[in-house]
A = this chain, B = another copy of it.
């Protein structure tokens, strides 16, 4: 159960880093670049926002994956959407894991309510973006997180942040939470690329109450 708690903490951390920026970074379809050649950086080590990520391959959504219980209880719900660059997706289909230059984009959106179905929610304005990028030459362990505010460039989240250690220990495939991406989880299971950390967390004895 402790490991599940760690996974949750990492998710919370990722969402915290990604979730509290202003609503001014809505991607503008048809504008900007779509770096098929891989991630791009500025001279001072920031990452350029892959602006057309909404045209990449969608992996999954999550609902209210937030540690802000008070906000949720007050009716301020959120959606997360996760996208990956198509080149990396194609490689994952073949191998069950990620190639160098993989970019996973997590966007957080506010949730609107459907007044006639009180429990139903739909996706609203963008509130934050975080990119998880694999660039073996640049980052220890191969991966880094970048948080985007209202600019087209994002700062790297320090490697001391617990999202790094938790993704490394508990994510289902190569530091990514494939356990929440149902189509990829099928592939990784068949290819035998699930991590020991995930398999330990998923074992029945790990799911006993505290």
Contact = CB atoms under 8 A, between A and B. Distances in A.
The interface centre, meaning the residue of A7, A27, A61, A207 with most chain B CB atoms within 10 A of its CB, is A61
Interface stretch (A120-128, A136-144, A151-159): A120-128
Contact of A183 (B54, B63, B64, B86): B54
B64 A109 contact: no
B126 A86 contact: no
A27 to B, nearest CB: 7
Copies of chain A in the complex: 2
Interface in A65-121: 65-67, 69, 72, 77, 79, 81, 83, 86, 89, 93-94, 109, 111, 114-117, 119-121
Contacts of A77: 63
A120 B64 contact: yes
Which of under 10, 10 to 19, 20 to 34, or 35 or more describes the interface residues of A? 35 or more
A5 interface: yes
Contact of A65 (B117, B125, B181): B117
A26 B65 contact: no
B183 A29 contact: yes
A187 interface: yes
A8 interface: yes
Given A29-B93, A81-B58, A111 B182 contact: no
B5 A116 contact: yes
A63 B207 CA distance: 26
Interface of A: 4-5, 7-8, 11-12, 26-27, 29-30, 54-55, 57-58, 60-67, 69, 72, 77, 79, 81, 83, 86, 89, 93-94, 109, 111, 114-117, 119-126, 180-183, 186-187, 207
8 contacts: A4-B116, A8-B117, A29-B183, A60-B123, A61-B61, A63-B122, A65-B120, A122-B180
Which 10 pairs, one residue from A and one from B, show the smallest C-beta to C-beta distance? A58-B58, A8-B116, A61-B61, A122-B180, A60-B123, A65-B120, A63-B63, A63-B121, A30-B93, A64-B119
